[in-house]
Amino acid sequence: MDSFAQKLLDWYQVSGRKDLPWQHPREPYRVWLSEIMLQQTQVTTVIPYFEKFLDQFPTVLSLADAELDQVLSLWAGLGYYARARNLHAAAIQIRDEHKGIFPSSQEALEGLPGIGQSTAGAIRAQAFSQKGIILDANVRRVLCRYHGIGTLPTNAVTQTQLWALANSHTPDEQHADYAQAIMDLGATLCARRAKCDTCPLQGSCIAFADNRQEELPVRPAKKAAKPIRLAHMHILQNETGEIYLEKRPPSGIWGGMLCPPFVYLTEDSLELGLSKGGDFMPQRRHTFSHFHLDFVPVLTRFSGLSDEESDRILDSDSGLWYNLNTPAPGGLPAPISKLFRELINL
């Protein structure tokens, strides 16, 4: 075992996180679920979602047998909903192609939806006590600083270098503890703002020796401002207070979830169709990874709708009238939930 791994494991025994819910026990389904939830999401945010998921779906087979709407309902508010769809699809694949037994090989894990090379390595190490190589954002930051790598981490050549370094430091024993240790170090001490005073690797870290902790890893050139997309969101409310919702397409924003219909606007189409005669609510913004969505809710209240008129509004199989005081099938995106809470108080 090299000194990098040994120092990291010694530090972990004293200061590492050992009370995370997916560590007790470290079994494949729990580890996998946590790894997917932790992608682009902090531990403190994930824990309550993780616990709710396990209450509803205690095994991979119970998840596979569930309806996607049930899964999305528990995921609502966690964001990046493609993760939930991949989670469900992977559970079905485990049920149908692996006889309900979670696979342990790198190749089989990477063959599941939503699992890449690093996530597969994390699952192998923590759930199966196999040598699994991890190179998530936290680990990249640790390695770039420790080895003084001054090239962009996303560069293909640098990626190859980082995978080789990650492999060379990963020990042939204590797999689960090492995986948690290096992820913990990157999340706590070797975070974006480094806390070098208590870092176990300080003595041999090139970035610390050269006082370059804040420079490394190299960041890409500042991105241009995110584009803004404009939309009207049509809030259609019947005389009993129900809101019309329709299921979004499987891909794209809020994929597979229920949402009021909305129309993207162009500069020369600021008022469209159903917005005429509606009440315009204040504009609000929701930020996605690649763009800002600025949308204006347009509230249109109907009274005295006949069954025929109601059915005409429900012009698709995925549309329904939703009671604001009941849970929505499949859950609601966070900004829609917030909007509906405001409507209840109007």
- Residue whose token pair is 């902790």: 213
Q: Is residue 220 part of a domain?
A: no
CA dist 201 and 312 (Å) reads: 66
Beta bridge partners of 321: 244
Q: Is residue 46 a part of any domain in this protein?
A: yes
Does 162 lie in the same domain as 76? yes
Count of domains for the chain: 2
What is the distance between the alpha carbons of residues 234 and 152, in angstroms, rounded to a whole number? 44
| Domain annotation covers residue 223 | no
Count CB atoms within 10 A of the CB of residue 61.
Answer: 15
Tens-of-pLDDT digits for all 346 residues of the chain?
899 999 999 999 999 999 999 999 999 999 999 999 999 899 999 999 999 999 999 999 999 999 999 999 999 989 899 999 999 999 999 999 999 999 999 999 999 999 999 999 999 999 999 999 999 999 999 999 999 999 999 999 999 999 999 999 999 999 999 999 999 999 999 999 999 999 999 999 999 999 999 999 999 888 788 999 999 999 999 888 899 999 888 888 898 889 999 888 875 544 444 445 578 899 999 999 889 999 999 998 887 666 665 555 555 567 899 999 888 888 899 999 999 998 887 6
CATH number at residue 288: 3.90.79.10
Residue at 240 is within a domain:
yes
DSSP string, 102-140: PP-SHHHHHTSTT--HHHHHHHHHHHH--------HHHH
Pair 42, 186 in one domain: yes
Residues 49, 51: Cα–Cα separation, whole Å: 5
Cα atoms found within 13 Å of the Cα of residue 22, Cβ hemisphere only: 27
Residue at 179 is within a domain: yes
Q: Quick one: 133 and 193 in the same domain?
A: yes
Decide if 214 is inside a domain: no
111 and 47 housed in the same domain: yes
**HSE on the CB side for 39, CA within 13 Å?**
21
Same domain, 100 and 188: yes
- Same structural domain, 268 and 326: yes
Question: Are residues 45 and 149 located together in one domain of the fold?
Answer: yes
Take residue 332 and report the two structure tokens written for it. Answer: 């609601």
Asked, for residue 215, whether it belongs to a domain, the answer is: no
Question: Last residue of some domain: 209, 239, 267?
Answer: 209
pTM of the model: 0.83
Determine the structural domain holding residue 310 and report its residue range.
228-344
Placement of tokens 């974006």 in the chain: 192
In a domain, 218, yes or no: no
Which positions are annotated as active-site residues?
Answer: 35
Domain co-membership, 125 together with 239: no
Q: Which residues of 112-133 are buried (b: 16+ CB within 10 A; e: fewer)?
A: bbbbeebbbbbbbbbbbbebbb
